[in-house]
A and B are shown apart, each in its own frame.
Chain A
Amino acid sequence: MAQSEQFCTFFLDGHFFGVPVQQVQEVIRYQEMTRVPLVPQAVRGLINLRGQIVTAIDLRRRLGMSERPADKLPMNVVVRTDDGALSLLVDEIGDVIEAEQKTFEEPPDTLKGMRREMIQGVHKLNDRLMHVLDIEKACRIMEAPESAVAVR
């Protein structure tokens, strides 16, 4: 049997992304957030997840994409990290899909900068490409201030 993995997928500015399903704790609709001053823009705020305080990171900002239209509310993909739960703000949620290891490929050399750092690679699916997000790197915000500046 070929090596395969399940991915929780979502959309960001029209791009198709996926994160390993084992790392996803839950997917919830938009939550009211409390903004945190003095931190990089990518940190959108704090949400109350059943009594637990979870930092929400806007992946559009993190990946240096254009701002989400104001009328579109983001969804929360809550992932588990070594440092507890963390919420990734995405545009829309896709299906859980299964991708085989053999369809995986490293990102092309032409992809540069922090997007390359945060994208592990792509899965060549039948109808499109799925970007695999490196959650650990995407969450490492305070330790990489230069990329945070770039987001602004």
Chain B
Amino acid sequence: MFEKIYRRAISLFSKKVKGVALYCVKPSSSDEFKTIVERWNCVCFLDHWWREKHHIPFGSKMHLESNFIDMLFEFEEDVLYKKIRLNNLDPYEANKGAWIKQKKEESVKSKDSDFEKFKEDFNNLDLSKYDEK
């Protein structure tokens, strides 16, 4: 069974990565196959990120047509724009003391205070008027 999977993997990978000797070990067990997957993800670490982002299955037509330069370009572009967006939302002003982002904490705080308010309102509910009806 592993021999069959291995051959399929070789045919897919050789189309994608020419000249990269990733698969020198013939898998005879699931552990060896895991090693192959690990090696793939170590060498082509952006590949998984890219497939996950676009919901593209491994070995699909789209995947085989992609290339690592485009993936790297897209990754760096994402990082760049994320930085720009963050900086626009919450710009850093030097020496003002607010150099740590507080958003997460504030949202947790507001959730906590919402819950406290709800609890207080619930405790203050006058249920007696409902009993009368």
Whether chains A and B associate is no
